[in-house]
Amino acid sequence: MYPLRTFRSETIPDHHSVCPAWYITANRPDIVLVDRSVRDAIIVDITIPHDDNLVKAEKGKVYKYLDLALEITAIWNVQSTVIVPIVVSVNGLLAKSFDQHLKKLSLGCWIKGRIQTARIVRRFLTLEP
């Protein structure tokens, strides 16, 4: 049998507040994939910015989830956590790094054409004569 440990709890006066060392403001990504056999995690976040903000949106998503990636690596006992931003503009434009992100997710480039085709078809179906 294991010995019981006794802990002495100290009360904190009402006028003091307890704050954590840092706050993680971005704690709800769209998708989190964990491969326990390889001990890897992937944070996927999807965004649809305007055409002019593709690069800005992509870099913003990576920066936004850096703290969460470090926390996932430490808490879930994985070797690495990769952040994959999927950025498709309002008009169907894709960022230059879209192919690299698909490779990180082990998806083929066939999905790239389907994303752009879906946007074009939707745009033409909603046009009024």
Give the pLDDT confidence score for residue 1 in this predicted structure.
Answer: 47
Give the pLDDT confidence score for residue 120 in this predicted structure.
Answer: 61
pTM of the model: 0.70
Strand-pairing partners, residue 33, are 42
Please report whether residue 77 resides in a domain. yes
Sheet holding 31-35, edge to edge: 31-35, 40-47, 80-87
Please report whether residue 80 resides in a domain. yes
- Report angle CA 56, 62, 68 to the nearest 5 degrees: 145
Please report whether residue 9 resides in a domain. no
- Here the tokens at position 70 are 């470090």
Q: How many domains does the chain have?
A: 1
Q: How far apart are CA 26 and CA 61, in angstroms?
A: 10
Give the pLDDT confidence score for residue 31 in this predicted structure.
Answer: 92
Give the pLDDT confidence score for residue 52 in this predicted structure.
Answer: 86
Please report whether residue 21 resides in a domain. no
Please report whether residue 25 resides in a domain. no
Please report whether residue 10 resides in a domain. no
10-residue mean pLDDT profile of the chain (129 residues): values are: 50 51 71 92 91 89 91 90 90 84 82 69 61
Give the pLDDT confidence score for residue 6 in this predicted structure.
Answer: 52
For residue 43, give its domain range.
Answer: 31-125
Q: Are 72 and 36 in contact (CB under 8 A)?
A: no
Please report whether residue 52 resides in a domain. yes
Please report whether residue 73 resides in a domain. yes
DSSP characters over 50-84:
-GGGHHHHHHHHHHHTHHHHHHHHHHTT-SEEEEE
Give the pLDDT confidence score for residue 83 in this predicted structure.
Answer: 95
Give the pLDDT confidence score for residue 126 in this predicted structure.
Answer: 66
